[in-house]
A and B are shown apart, each in its own frame.
Chain A
Amino acid sequence: MSQDQPNPDDDGAAPVEAAPRSPEDFHEEAPWHRVHPVSPFVRGWLVIVALVYGFGQNWLQNLIPGFGGDDGDSSKDAEFLNFIFESVAWVIAGGLLVLLLILGGFYLSWKMTRYQLTDRHVNVRSGIVFRQQRQARIDRVQAIDIVQPLIARIFGLAELKFEVADGGSTAMKLAFLKLPAAKELRGAILARAAGLRAEAAGDGPRPGATAPAATDGTAAPDAVVQDAPVAPENVLVRVPPGRLIASIVLSPAVWIAVIVLGVGLAVQFATDGAFLMVYLLPGLFGFVPWIWGLFNNGYNFAAAVSPDGLRLSYGLLDTRHQTVPPGRIQAVQVRQGVIWRLMGWHKIVINVAGYGASADGGETRSTVLPVGTRADVLNILSIVLPNPGTDRPLELVEAGIAGSGGAEGFTTTPRSARLLSPLAWRRQGFTVTESAVFSRYGFLLRYLDIVPHERTQGISLVQGPLARAASVCSVRMMTTDGPVSPYIVQAASPVARRFFLEQSARAARARAAHDHNHWLDDDPYGTGVAQLPVAQQAMSAGATEDPARGAAPAPNQHERDNQHD
């Protein structure tokens, strides 16, 4: 119950750990920690509530026939009291037994759950009967979330979620830690991932190179965690609640509900009540969680930039703090619907490996801007796409969101395909900058897809018979699973073919140029951001708070840019 867990753990946790088998294992030796003891309750409170409810109901059911019985007869009264006492005794005994079993289970589950932070890995052991050991490579971290469900929030606890790429099934969870401890741990993981700790991790497990890390780790095991400063963050975008509510009122969720309701009422009146509105009600209630979800998840939304990357925080009842390190964003999409266009609002979603297929709110977690103005869009883009690869990023984004025709270097759908997309053909187009592909499409619902070159997993050209007749074909750029599937719609076939080959070569070149596994080593984040003025301010503000982290990357970036040229 002590304050927080990064204390070098008490009992025989470390000795339990198998003896080091090789020098490589040796420096991996770090203290094992436990999660907060209340954790099983927070996770299992529903079980207890269900249990109490079940017993209570059972008991009441036993009582009620007795109550219904005749009154006034004293002997029967005594019998009845007896019955009550007996049943109470049994219920209490049974309830206590089950409760004890559950508490024992909770205790064991807490006792068995341990985690360890080493220089290169996060290890988690859990399970009572079926033991589970998971190891996550820190240099593969894709994103870290700190999640606080309502109950955990009441206790001041938080869950740390750690995405390690590969299709979304490999998330690692630590539930629950004290909130400050969770933040500290996040900072420590990100600092290691950023390559601050040891270049050794980047060079591979060579015993010689890792020796200093070993002495460091064993000498002051928990100093490591405290060393890493919590990176300063600067909030660039906030979504005011008024705008959020207005955006939800104007969103498809509400339209559809209203249309269904209207049609239902109309039919009811037209048929003089022969059609029962009641049948529609369950369907309408289905919209409530959807709309509530939009509100709950968009509430208090803030996006910030920090040297660790993009920071998102949001939530009314359940809150979530997400950190996406730079270079982990696989694709970006800016969306704008018809009504939102009138209001000047946009939504931005991204693909992050590990976010996509995850069960809990993939789209919610992938939303980096639930509703925002054009200025907000630029701010967010400056974080998620630190290097747009062009001298005119503002004009380019403007043309991408709202433009049509060939301005800012967009290659649009040829006239030969105007019958296939009568409204959108002037708008559909793409352009390639030094660092990313921008593709825009959609007439009523506008889309702008952005894929960094080095994030391209594959490209395919597709062409159906109609497209062939019109001498066009479409290009899909493959990224990891997520809400964005970047698409170039109906480009002229020769253009698309050339793009196909060139883009493949560009992707290979961009990847060779920098591997993002240690982003402070090879892809300094700070100055890429500075390409957009607002973010520049943010970064310089960050630098004043922590000169070591904010300012250091600057020179490197220029070096890299020069290499590119």
Chain B
Amino acid sequence: MEMDRGMRQVPETDRAPAGAAVADDPKTIDPEGVDWLRVHPDYVKVRIFGVLIGAVVWLIITSIPLVLRSTGVWGGYPEWLAWLLPGLALLWSLIDLFVTNRRVRAIGYAERDDDLLVRQGILFKKVLVVPYGRMQYVDVQMGPVDRAFGLCKVQLHTAASDVTATIPGVTADEGARLREQLSARGEARLAGL
């Protein structure tokens, strides 16, 4: 027991001397004691659909030199370059596709008594908290792909234009519940600017 604790503390104090005792992992940015609600699994499909469309667009754009060269319109550049561009686009799209699932699983939100927390990101992580009293209005959006899966996106706007807590990929029912809940809580705790 004693040894166990001692062994664990050495690397931590090494990395983060201040306040390391509080946290298990000095690297994470998820606040302690928050139960995250995850978005609906179907949202992965929505995102994959988006990634595929993006991939097609990028492939078409980056293939222009290749097409020009193979049709003999203009070939003033080496052949490897013409192949490299769409190759890179393809590679990037594949990576994107590969991490989409993890990206979606990284999205989470938590309604606490006084505030809403939203987290996202795997490489560049971000956690946002917005007190309900700061909320100006709630937005529920549903795009065509979202609708096909019965999902929607909930946005909470504040007076600061860059603070928009966005919860994508929740079911329409959950979206409606969130909207009502957030509005009610915002009303109850409403303050001026």
Contacts and interface: CB of A to CB of B under 8 A. Distances in A.
Interface string A459-480: 1111111001101110000111
B29 interface: yes
A457 B134 contact: yes
14 contacts: A142-B193, A167-B161, A330-B193, A416-B14, A454-B191, A457-B160, A463-B125, A465-B123, A469-B27, A473-B125, A494-B22, A495-B18, A504-B115, A508-B114
Interface in A116-150: 139-140, 142
The 5 closest A-B pairs by CB, nearest first: A494-B23, A478-B163, A460-B128, A458-B163, A458-B130
A165 interface: yes
Interface stretch (A63-71, A311-319, A509-517): A509-517
A507 interface: yes
Given A414-B17, A478-B158, A459 B27 contact: no
B192 interface: yes
Given A494-B19, A511-B191, A461 B127 contact: yes
Contact of B27 (A142, A471, A485, A508): A471
Contacts of B129: 458-460, 500-501, 504
B162 interface: yes
Contacts of B16: 414, 416, 471-472, 492-495
A458 B31 contact: no
B126 A461 contact: yes
Interface in B9-34: 14-20, 22-23, 26-32
A505 interface: yes
A500 B31 contact: yes
Interface string B103-140: 00000000000110000000111111111011010000
A428 interface: no
B26 A471 contact: yes
Interface string A132-175: 00000001101000000000000000000000011100000000
Interface in A352-404: 353, 357
Contacts of B19: 492, 494-495, 498
B159 interface: yes
Interface of A: 139-140, 142, 165-167, 328, 330, 353, 357, 411, 414-416, 454-465, 468-469, 471-473, 478-481, 485, 492-498, 500-501, 504-505, 507-508, 511-512, 515-517
A493 B23 contact: yes
B177 interface: no
Contacts of B147: none
Given A500-B127, A508-B131, A508-B189, A166 B17 contact: no
A500 to B, nearest CB: 6
B95 to A, nearest CB: 15
A497 B158 contact: no
Interface string B156-190: 00111111010000000000000000000000010
Nearest to B128: A460
A472 B125 CA distance: 12
A514 to B, nearest CB: 9
A515 B124 CA distance: 36
Contacts of A414: 15-18
A497 B30 contact: yes
Contacts of A501: 31-32, 129
Contacts of B31: 461, 497-498, 500-501
Contacts of A469: 27
Contacts of B17: 414-415, 492
A516 B192 contact: yes
B29 A515 contact: no
A492 B18 contact: yes
Contact of B160 (A479, A496, A507, A512): A479
Contacts of A496: 29
Given A460-B127, A461-B126, A493-B16, 19 more contacts: A140-B192, A140-B193, A414-B16, A414-B17, A456-B134, A457-B159, A457-B160, A473-B29, A480-B159, A480-B160, A481-B160, A481-B162, A492-B17, A493-B23, A500-B129, A505-B114, A508-B114, A511-B131, A515-B191
